[in-house]
Structure 1
Amino acid sequence: MFRDELAPDRGMIFLYEVPQNASFWMKNTYIPLDMIFIRPDGTIANIAENTVPLQLEPYVSLEPVTAVFEIAGGRSAELGIKTGDRVSWR
């Protein structure tokens, strides 16, 4: 929240110990983001692309996830990231 810029090579990750349905809104976020929802097996369940700044309606995972990775809006398309891809950060 309260971000007005995000470098193309930066992001934020939110980890959950137990798989759960995740929901994020854009309140007090001033730039579009791509929200990448990650399953327990490390594959991408869905991507909310170019989220609308300041929107109160939530963006949700379509199934239980163990992580959500937020990057600058449009970056997932630029990098060719898509549903089903495997994510690794360790």
Structure 2
Amino acid sequence: MQLHLKCVLIASLYAAGCHQNTGNNNSNAVDTSTVTTTEAATETSNGTAFKKQGTLAFLSKSGADTLRKIDIQLAQTDEQRSDGLMYRKSMTDEQGMLFIFPDMEERAFWMKNTYISLDIIYIDDNMEIVSVQKYATPLSEESLPSYKKAKYVLEVNGGFCDKYHIAYGDKIAYQ
């Protein structure tokens, strides 16, 4: 039975591949029947590929100094927030993921299926850092709470906050 299913699958894939090239030698042509409006995450040997969707600046408590700027990927839907940085094997210090929630609540994150150590930064609706969980242990299912209400959560590499002197009371700005 399994052999039969494999043969059907191979035949279907072959037919689909042949169908894309029939009757059109123009390399710029697009088969509109296969175009989708949703953006699929690209899988790499490093896990899901980073997708820059904005930039974020860390501002000092006084607001006078920009401490650091990074590129961010956004997690705005329940599915995106659920997936987060799971299965990624590395990330640069110039990258992070910003989780955006619809409301201010106490939050708690965990590191299930997350292979890199992270600093988890909890941010309120005034864009102020209200707490930080540093050096979160990869693959841990331990709850890492915010202890205060937060609307945003930013995940960056473990040690980022110490390295760039990011702390409670600092602010963020993103676009």
**TM-score, shorter chain, exceeding 0.5:** yes
Report which structure shows greater RCO (CA 8 Å, sep ≥6). Answer: 1
The correspondence of residues 8-19 of structure 1 with structure 2, limited to 5 A, is: 8-19=93-104
SS in 1 for 2:132: strand
Q: Please state how far the C-alpha of 1:63 moved relative to its aligned partner.
A: 1.1
In the TM superposition, structure 1's runs of 4+ consecutive aligned residues that sit over 3 Å from their partners are none
SS in 2 for 1:61: strand
Deviations 1:28-50 (CA, angstroms, capped at 9, x unpaired): 11110000000111110110001
The CA RMSD measured in Å over matched residues stands at: 0.8
Matches of 2:154 and 2:110, distance apart in 1: 14
The correspondence of residues 29-40 of structure 1 with structure 2, limited to 5 A, is: 29-40=114-125
Q: Please state how far the C-alpha of 1:20 moved relative to its aligned partner.
A: 0.9
Deviations 1:44-65 (CA, angstroms, capped at 9, x unpaired): 0110001000111111111110
- Larger Rg: 1 or 2? 2
Structure 1 counterpart of 2:110, from 25, 34, 44: 25
Matches of 2:161 and 2:133, distance apart in 1: 10
Structure 2 counterpart of 1:75, from 147, 157, 160: 160
Counterpart residue type for residue 121 of structure 2: I
TM-score (norm 2): 0.50
TM-score (norm 1): 0.96
Q: Please state how far the C-alpha of 1:17 moved relative to its aligned partner.
A: 1.6
Aligned length: 90
Identity %: 32
Aligned to 2:65: none
